[in-house]
Amino acid sequence: MNEEISEELKEVSQNVDSEQQNDDVCSEAESITAEADLNANDSEESSDESSDEKSQSLDNEARLEQLEREHETLKSQYMRIAADFDNFRKRQTRDQDDLRLQLQCSTLSEILPVVDNFERARQQLNPEGEEAQALHRSYQGLYKQLVEVLKQLGVAPMRVIGQTFDPSLHEAVLREPSNEINEDIITEELQRGYHMNGRVLRHALVKVSMGPGQNKENSTTNGSEEKDNSQDLKSEES
C-alpha cells in the first residue's frame, strides 16, 4: 500500500517538474519574442531617424544653393548700380567743369576788347612833359595789372607771325601774293588772338601769304591771253 502511494507521489512530482519546465520554456520564448520585437522597433526607429536626417541635409543643401544664387544676384546688381552712380558722378563733374570754363571764357571774351584798347592807346600815346609821363606810367601800371590777372587765369596771347595758317586758331582776313614768303604763312597780325588752358578764347585775325606761285599763274594767264589777242588781230587783218 505504501509503495503505491510513493509511486503516485513520484509521478505527481514528475508531472509538476515537467509542467514547471514547460512554463520556464514558454517564459523564455516569450522573453526572446519580446526582445526581438524591441530590436525590430529600434531598427525601424533608427531607419526613420536616418531617413529624416538625410532629407533634412538635402533640404539644407538646396537652401544653401538658393541663398548663394540670391547673393550673387544681389552682388551683381550692387556692382552695376555702383558703376552707374560712379559714371553719373564723373559726368556731373565733367559737365560742371565745362560749364564753369564756358562762363570764364564768356566773361574773359568781354574783357579782351578792353585789353585791345589799352594796347592801341599805348602805341598812339607819346607823352611829353612831366604830367603826361606820370599819367602814362599810371596807365601802364593798370595795363600790367590787367595782364597779370589774365595770366593768372591761364589766358595767354597767340604768337602768329611766321606760323602756318590754322583755321582752328586763326581767321584769315586778307591774302596777298609774296615772292619771299611761302603760301599759307601768316605775314601780319591784324587782331591778337588769345587762348586759355589750351582752349581758344578768341581767334587771331591775320593776313596770309598766297606765295609766289600766284604771280606766275597770273603772268602765264596774261601771256596766253595776249597771244590769243595777237592771233585774233592777225586773222582780222588777213
Do 121 and 198 lie in one domain? The reply is no
Averaged over successive runs of 10 residues, the pLDDT of the chain (238 residues) comes to 54 54 58 63 62 78 87 90 91 88 86 87 75 78 88 90 92 90 91 89 92 55 47 42
Q: Same structural domain for residues 191 and 130?
A: no
Q: How many CB atoms lie within 10 A of CB 184?
A: 15
DSSP helix/strand/coil, 190: strand
Determine the structural domain holding residue 198 and report its residue range: 156-238
Supply the CATH number for residue 233's domain: 2.30.22.10
Q: Is the pTM of this model over 0.75?
A: no
Alpha-carbon distances of 74 from 68, 70, 71, 81, 143, rounded to whole Å = 10, 6, 5, 10, 63
Q: What angle do CA 194, 105, 146 make, to 5 degrees?
A: 60
Among residues 93, 126, 153, the one where a domain terminates is 153
pLDDT of residue 186: 93
CA 206 – CA 161 distance, rounded (Å): 9
> Into how many domains does the chain fold?
2
pLDDT of residue 232: 46
Residue 184 belongs to some domain of the structure: yes
The pLDDT, as a whole number, for residue 12 is: 47
Q: Is 170 left (phi over 0), alpha (psi -120 to 50) or beta?
A: beta
